[in-house]
């Protein structure tokens, strides 16, 4: 099979080696005799990746390749789903954190990536829908969730993850340790209290923490919800320690559950800026639901995260 590929590249993502990577992948595909067409589209501003993805004739291509960070991938996913572009999506993690690609163990070297494309194994994964925006990985609000779009692009490119942690450290000071009233409503759980953070995720890995949502599966038809109640200064270090060891669900400040649909609102009416796959997202109040098996992605031939996805929610002990 000779592939016809539409490539959508964010040249300013991560360490800015995206174009070189794609050129190496193309070289390997040509050497394998497995490429008949490649169209490269380079983004210059926000919204470009979504527009490029939406304008993809399905009869002209076999797959779309998104090259960039989580925000770029999110735009491509939105463009494809909103325009009904029914093609498999391949993802190269060219950004700084790359939560989804990390969780999926997607190859990062050009030759392995080319081999994955040639094998052309796909998996149908769930996608979240928040208001009118799709998300592949996470919707979040509160403490440290706006780091991705507060850090300048040049700092991301130069310092990588260090830039994120430096910005995040500012949120863990006494002055910035704020909270907000939140009301969460779903069939499984309904509650209202002051929170420091909430996360609605489709996969286990968020913010570079590989098992932040330990029961999450990509094809179970469920969203995993984690809410951290108001934190005091003395609560920070114990919670961070539990996050690093994977014991955070035992923390009294943590609420965790799974659902297919929920509503989140802020009873005080104050504006809370949300993060959606690493970019600025919608505001509260918001309705969020899982869209089962909405997107086909290209995966390695041996891909543990998509095997044996459970049909029913697990019982969670927090």
Q: Which residues make beta-bridge pairs with 199?
A: 140, 226
Q: DSSP states of 155-173 as a string? A: HHHHHTHHHHHHHHHHHTS
Cα distances from 210 to residues 85, 244, 270, 295, in angstroms, run 30, 9, 32, 22
| % of the chain with per-residue pLDDT over 70 | 81
CATH number of 3-120: 3.40.50.10330
pLDDT digits (tens, 9 = 90+) for 232-290: 878 878 887 887 788 898 889 999 999 999 999 999 887 787 999 888 888 999 999 99
- CA R_g for the chain: 19
Cis bond before residue 294 (omega within 30° of 0): no
pLDDT digits (tens, 9 = 90+) for 159-192: 344 344 444 445 555 445 678 999 999 999 999 9
Among candidate residues 143, 144, 184, 138, the one with its CA nearest the CA of residue 165 = 144
H or E stretch covering 283: strand 279-283
DSSP state of 314: P
In which band, very low, low, confident or very high, does the pLDDT at 306 lie, cut at 50, 70 and 90? low
| Beta strands 286-298 and 35-42, pairing class | unpaired
Q: Where along the chain do its domains lie?
A: 3-120, 134-292
Residue 222 reports pLDDT greater than 80? yes
**CA gap 212, 102 in Å, rounded:** 13
> Which of 137-151, 203-217, 294-308 has the highest mean predicted lDDT (pLDDT)?
203-217
Q: Give domain 134-292's CATH number out of 3.90.420.10, 3.30.43.10, 2.60.200.40, 3.40.190.290.
A: 2.60.200.40
């Amino acid at each position: 099979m000779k592939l016809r590929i539409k490539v959508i590249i964010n040249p300013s993502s991560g360490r800015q080696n995206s174009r070189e990577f794609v050129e190496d992948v193309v070289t390997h595909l040509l050497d394998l005799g497995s490429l008949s067409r490649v169209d490269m589209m380079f983004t210059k501003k926000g919204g470009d990746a979504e527009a490029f993805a939406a304008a993809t004739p399905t009869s002209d291509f076999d797959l779309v390749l998104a090259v960039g960070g989580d925000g770029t991938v999110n735009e491509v996913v939105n463009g494809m789903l909103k325009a009904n572009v029914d093609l498999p999506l391949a993802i190269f993690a060219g950004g700084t954190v790359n939560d989804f690609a990390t969780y999926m163990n997607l190859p990062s070297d050009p030759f392995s990536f080319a081999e994955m494309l040639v094998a052309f194994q796909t998996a149908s994964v769930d996608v979240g829908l928040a208001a009118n925006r799709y998300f592949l990985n996470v919707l979040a609000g509160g403490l440290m969730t706006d780091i991705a779009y507060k850090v300048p692009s040049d700092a991301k490119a130069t310092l990588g993850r260090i830039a994120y942690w430096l910005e995040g450290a500012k949120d863990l000071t006494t002055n910035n340790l704020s909270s907000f009233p939140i009301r969460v409503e779903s069939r499984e759980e309904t509650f209202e209290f002051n929170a420091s953070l909430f996360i609605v995720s489709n996969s286990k890995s968020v913010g570079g923490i590989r098992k932040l949502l330990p029961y999450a599966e990509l094809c179970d038809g469920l969203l995993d919800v984690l809410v951290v109640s108001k934190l005091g200064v003395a609560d920070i270090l114990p919670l961070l320690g539990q996050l690093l060891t994977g014991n955070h669900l035992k923390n009294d400040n943590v609420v965790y559950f799974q659902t297919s649909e929920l509503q989140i609102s802020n009873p005080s009416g104050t504006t809370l800026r949300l993060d959606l796959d690493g970019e600025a997202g919608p505001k509260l109040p918001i309705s969020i639901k899982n869209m089962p098996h909405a997107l086909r992605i290209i995966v390695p031939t041996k891909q543990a995260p998509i095997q044996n996805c459970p049909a029913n929610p697990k019982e969670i002990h927090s």
